[in-house]
A = this chain, B = another copy of it.
Amino acid sequence: MPVSKIITRSPCAISNVLEILGDRWTLLVVRDMLFYGKHEFKEFLASPESIATNILTERLQRLSFADIIDDIAHPDNKSRKLYYLTNKGKALLPILIEMVIWAEEYLPESEIMKPIQKALKQDAEGAKLKVISRLEKWEDEYLPKKKRA
């Protein structure tokens, strides 16, 4: 779907959420940023799901357009873009956390998330705070104050 078509067409909130996020690749990019500390195009490309470059480009545009991510130039190399989650993007964490919890129960064969699943079981709020605090640590290092909410 072209970026320009991200509009809220339905009177239903869930439908409008899915209009933005209802696509596997879009949420995988959000996952990479929330859980795996990724910020760069080439890092998203390296994920095990092997997203194609044209799809990745389009999904990053969609996410920017929806105000879920933003980007800045890398301080050491202006030609490298650093993507980061806005507050609206970070607020997607509970949705992905519930997916992780559901997967633990119903798709138990997923190895890579086991540490997060264990942490969620022991202390769900603590595990969420840890994710957010890692993102904020990155922001402290890379984002100029005016870019922060």
Contacts and interface: CB of A to CB of B under 8 A. Distances in A.
Contacts of A16: 103, 107, 109-110
A19 B35 CA distance: 18
A11 B99 contact: no
A123 interface: no
A35 B14 CA distance: 10
Interface string A19-32: 10011110110010
B105 A13 contact: no
A2 interface: no
Given A31-B12, A49-B10, A17 B102 contact: yes
Interface stretch (A74-82, A89-97, A140-148): A89-97
A133 interface: no
A148 to B, nearest CB: 18
A72 interface: no
Nearest to A48: B10
A96 B48 CA distance: 26
A14 B103 contact: yes
A97 to B, nearest CB: 8
13 contacts: A8-B109, A10-B49, A10-B110, A13-B99, A13-B100, A14-B35, A14-B113, A15-B48, A16-B103, A17-B102, A18-B28, A22-B25, A92-B102
